[in-house]
Amino acid sequence: MQFYGTPLPGVEKQEDYPGKLIVIEGTDGVGRSTHIALLRTWLESRGHAVLDTGMTRSILAGRGIKEAKTGHTLGRLTMQLFYATDFIDRLENEMLPALRAGFVVLTDRYIYSAIARAELRNIESHWIRSIYGMALVPDAIFYLRIGTAQQLGERLLSSGRGFDYWESGMDLHLGQDFYDSFIEYQKRMLKVFDRMTNEYGFHVLNASRSVRSVAADLRKAVIKVLDEPAPSAEDKVSVMPPLRDKTTPAKPTSNLVDLNKKALP
């Protein structure tokens, strides 16, 4: 097992695990959850057991973070540590056991988003990296990259989610309203991610394209991580149920819009 820094207490570095840890990273609204859902179904159809996880989903700290975020009294250091607690709980109790049992672990974001958020809040880079040093180095990190913050804003609107206080970085007072703040915050976020691409060896995928072509690329790359033969012709990506039948004409909306809606809980 390879860790970024100080290993988890009680874990032997020599130990190896049969599973694969695959990270899907990207800024808010690039379609991470859509792609994880697609990947999961596809991997399971090929016979792989899959665990998927993501930020604030821990049994230990998930609820506490959500509650703390509803008030605006969460300080910037407190927030980072709360998220770190959530992450380590999931690493120890979900990801690691699944990897030991031979699962493919798909994680929606990993330490990189947490580090990027901390950096945007002027938090010392050594500090946050040292805390997350307990993270396992993944088998692959796919960064779904979108060109501009404006594009992200459009996607957010088309998904019907609207702007969230924290995703817009409202605590940083970057703009007059949620939209201005969101654009400035995400612009900075994209910069930090670009910087981290080399540092952590992200596999960058251009997420401005259709869901279909991004998903096809992801599959090809995941196959390599799993050390399996390339997908056959019948594995062609079908991301949607048939769009039309005889009675209903095709809708003018793009695949992307519908998919994002579908992915909502």
Partner 1 sequence: MISYGQHQFPGKLFVVEGTDGSGKSTQLALLYQWLKAEGYPVFFSEWNSSSLVKDTTKRAKKRHLFTPATFSLLHATDFADRTERDIIPPLKAGAIVLADRYIYTAFARDVARGCERSWVRDVYSFAVKPTMAFFFRAPLNIAIDRIVSGRPNLKYYEAGMDVGWADDPEESFTIFQGKILEEYDRMVSEFGLTVIDASRSIERQQREMRMLIGPHLNKQKRVRSN
Indicate the residue among 59 and 243 with the shorter CB distance to partner 1: 59
3-state secondary structure of 7: coil
Q: Hey, what amino acid is at 48?
A: H
Among 22, 61, 115, 136, binds partner 1 (CB under 8 A): 61
55 in contact with partner 1 (CB under 8 A): no
3-state secondary structure of 140: strand
77 in contact with partner 1 (CB under 8 A): yes
85 in contact with partner 1 (CB under 8 A): yes
Q: Which stretch binds partner 1 (CB under 8 A): 79-87, 102-110, 141-149, 202-210?
A: 79-87
E-assigned strand segments in the chain: 20-25, 50-54, 104-108, 140-145, 203-206
116 in contact with partner 1 (CB under 8 A): no
Among 16, 44, 49, 78, binds partner 1 (CB under 8 A): 78
Q: Which two tokens stand for residue 245?
A: 């039948």
Q: Which residues contact residue 86 at a Cβ distance below 8 angstroms, ignoring those fewer than 6 apart?
A: 55, 56, 57, 58, 60, 61, 62, 65
Question: Measured between alpha carbons, how far is 78 from 92 in angstroms, rounded to an integer?
Answer: 21
Q: Which stretch binds partner 1 (CB under 8 A): 43-51, 59-67, 155-163, 203-211?
A: 59-67
DSSP output for 200-259:
HT-EEEETTS-HHHHHHHHHHHHHHHHT-PPP-GGG----SS-S--SSSPPPSS-HHHHH
E-assigned strand segments in 112-184: 140-145
3-state secondary structure of 163: coil
Contact in structure between 20 and 226 (CB atoms under 8 Å):
yes
What's the min distance (Å) between Cβ of 198 and partner 1?
Answer: 24
225 in contact with partner 1 (CB under 8 A): no
Indicate the residue among 133 and 175 with the shorter CB distance to partner 1: 133
Contact in structure between 151 and 168 (CB atoms under 8 Å):
no
Among 1, 55, 68, 226, binds partner 1 (CB under 8 A): 68
Q: Please work out the total of residues on this chain that contact partner 1, with binding judged by CB under 8 A.
A: 36
Indicate the residue among 133 and 231 with the shorter CB distance to partner 1: 133
Indicate the residue among 75 and 162 with the shorter CB distance to partner 1: 75
What's the min distance (Å) between Cβ of 69 and partner 1?
Answer: 10
Residues that bind partner 1 (CB under 8 A): 5-6, 8-10, 59-61, 63-64, 67-68, 73-78, 80-82, 84-85, 88-89, 92-93, 122-124, 126-127, 130-131, 133-134
